[in-house]
């Protein structure tokens, strides 16, 4: 199927159909195939995850009742090394979502050229409705259920949506207790005291900063004159907003699940971060400062800005709202925030989209650094981590930009082609196990 034909099919599918993230990832993959010469047999391998595990997670609630949750762990590819990917706690988690995220992690690790494959995990739950003790019980039981397939040389989880260092600490402790040995390298994103890496918390947002600055320089846009809108004010979004602001960018739009705000003069991002840390649910709702006005998430997408950074969940920019996007550049800090149908519209409007598998790779790059430090039992200084992160992100951006120019394709296609070809080459070299 030609690229033109695939585009026509995607446009026909765009109306009135619920977005399936796994199908969305496969559509992106198929678009990239047009620009590769990967053999059919290898392509079949690339389109299927190696392992998908579904587990039941019974816990005793604080009131004494037993509740059973559902969890997943998907290992998409181990062709380039141990699988790597976060764990999210969210009521909307599905197996197809986790498969998609594991696939994106596979290509992301390859684009950044770190020796990992891709994985992802998730538990169907609303952690805001659980006590801290209940979250701990959930985490420990989930760890026990997936323990047979995870490990420092097998599959290394990390934080993702609604998970954090405390949850990673419980995973380390549970695994260490059950295996009878210390296994700090079984996860990344841990507390520093348990072998976490300095700079890891900010790594995804810092990587977004490096990519944003690099792309703007290539486009001849001065960051000090650039306006920025950030959708999603969690870890990645808040850190990216704060660091870009410190570098001279003007953050004029912010939003999260509770709503959004616009400030033509630019936010004091440090002040917003302080507010969110102490607000109910750590949300933007109720923030007040001079010169701001309330907007919706949808209105944030239509702001006339230089840079739009979607940093929430997948499928936020779709065929329904893509035509109203007015940003010059989109930097995908979230995983899969733009559907293939929306990509077509954005391309027609000459909007530059820097894909997630490049833009938000800072987290997995720093996770790799943490893993290396755990293996060597030799911690690095934070400055060293940040410098190394900058070099890796800038190199990856340069390689994607060069491939985009060489083959006359979009940055998303270039990133996918780069990542997929690297995974395919590893699969070819390893051969098919008989």
Q: Among the CATH numbers 3.40.50.720, 3.40.718.10, 1.10.3430.10, 2.20.25.90, which is that of 203-359?
A: 3.40.50.720
Half-sphere exposure of 175 (CA within 13 A, CB side): 25
48-63 average pLDDT score: 97
Banded pLDDT at 2 (limits 50, 70, 90): very low
- Which structure tokens are listed for 75? 């290992």
* Residue-level pLDDT at 223: 93
Lowest pLDDT segment from 136-140, 283-287, 430-434: 430-434
Start and end residues for every CATH 3.40.50.10860 domain found in the chain: 47-183
Cα separation, 260 vs 280, whole angstroms: 15
In the chain, residues under CATH classification 3.40.50.720 are: 203-359
**Where residue 313 falls among pLDDT bands split at 50, 70, 90?**
confident
| pLDDT band at residue 11 under the 50/70/90 scheme | very low
Closest alpha carbon to 392 in 366, 371, 416, 356: 366
Specify the pLDDT at position 16.
41
For the cut 70, the answer to whether the pLDDT of residue 181 exceeds it is: yes
The predicted structure's pLDDT at residue 87: 97
Between 434 and 234, name the one with better pLDDT. 234
Is-contact 24 336, C-beta < 8 A?
A: yes
pLDDT at 433: 76
**What is the C-alpha to C-alpha distance for residues 322 and 302, in angstroms, rounded to an integer?**
9
The architecture of the domain spanning 47-183 is 3-Layer(aba) Sandwich (3.40)
The set of catalytic residues is 120
What is the pLDDT confidence band of residue 434, given thresholds at 50, 70 and 90?
Answer: low
Whether 17 has a pLDDT exceeding 70, the answer reads no
Is pLDDT of 75 > 60? yes
pLDDT band for position 297 (50/70/90)? confident
Residue 277 has pLDDT above 60, yes or no: yes
pLDDT surpasses 90 at 14: no
Structure confidence at residue 282 (pLDDT): 85
Q: Distance between CA atoms of 213 and 247, rounded to whole angstroms?
A: 9
């Amino acid at each position: 199927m030609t690229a033109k034909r695939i585009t026509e099919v995607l446009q026909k599918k765009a109306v009135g159909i619920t977005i399936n993230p796994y199908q969305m990832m496969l559509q992106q993959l198929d678009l990239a195939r047009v620009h590769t010469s990967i053999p059919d047999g290898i392509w079949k391998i690339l389109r299927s995850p190696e392992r998908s595990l579904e587990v039941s997670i019974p816990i005793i609630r604080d009131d004494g009742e037993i509740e059973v949750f559902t969890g997943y762990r998907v290992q998409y590819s181990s062709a380039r090394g141990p699988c790597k990917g976060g764990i999210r706690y969210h009521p909307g988690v599905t197996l197809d979502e986790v498969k998609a995220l594991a696939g994106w992690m596979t290509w992301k690790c390859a684009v950044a050229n770190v020796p990992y494959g891709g994985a992802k995990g998730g538990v169907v739950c609303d952690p805001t409705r659980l006590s801290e003790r209940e979250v701990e019980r959930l985490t420990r039981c989930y760890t026990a259920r997936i323990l047979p397939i995870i490990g420092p040389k097998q599959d290394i989880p990390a934080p993702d949506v609604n998970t954090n260092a405390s949850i990673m600490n419980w995973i380390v402790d549970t695994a260490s207790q059950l295996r009878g040995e210390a296994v700090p390298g079984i996860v990344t994103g841990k507390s520093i005291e348990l072998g976490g890496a300095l700079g890891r918390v900010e790594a995804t947002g810092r990587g977004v900063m490096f990519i944003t600055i690099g792309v703007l320089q290539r486009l001849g846009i001065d960051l000090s004159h650039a306006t920025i809108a950030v959708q999603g004010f969690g870890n990645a979004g808040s850190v990216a907003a704060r660091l870009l602001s410190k570098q001279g960018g003007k953050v004029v739009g912010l939003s999260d699940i509770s709503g959004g705000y616009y400030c033509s003069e630019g936010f004091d991002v440090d002040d917003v971060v302080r507010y969110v840390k102490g607000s109910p649910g750590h949300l933007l709702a109720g923030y007040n400062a001079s010169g701001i006005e309330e907007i919706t998430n949808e209105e944030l997408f239509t702001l006339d800005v230089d840079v739009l950074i979607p940093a929430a969940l997948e499928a936020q920019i779709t065929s329904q709202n893509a035509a109203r996007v007015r940003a010059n550049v989109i930097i995908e800090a979230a995983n899969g925030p733009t559907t293939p149908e929306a990509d077509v519209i954005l391309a027609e409007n000459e909007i530059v989209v820097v894909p997630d598998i490049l833009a938000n790779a800072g987290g997995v790059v720093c996770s790799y650094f943490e893993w290396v430090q755990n293996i060597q039992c030799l911690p690095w200084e934070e400055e060293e981590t940040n410098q190394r992160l900058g070099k890796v992100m800038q190199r990856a951006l340069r390689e994607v930009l060069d491939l985009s120019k060489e083959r006359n394709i979009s940055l998303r296609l270039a990133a996918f082609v780069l990542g997929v070809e690297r995974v395919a080459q590893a699969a070819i070299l390893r051969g098919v196990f008989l």
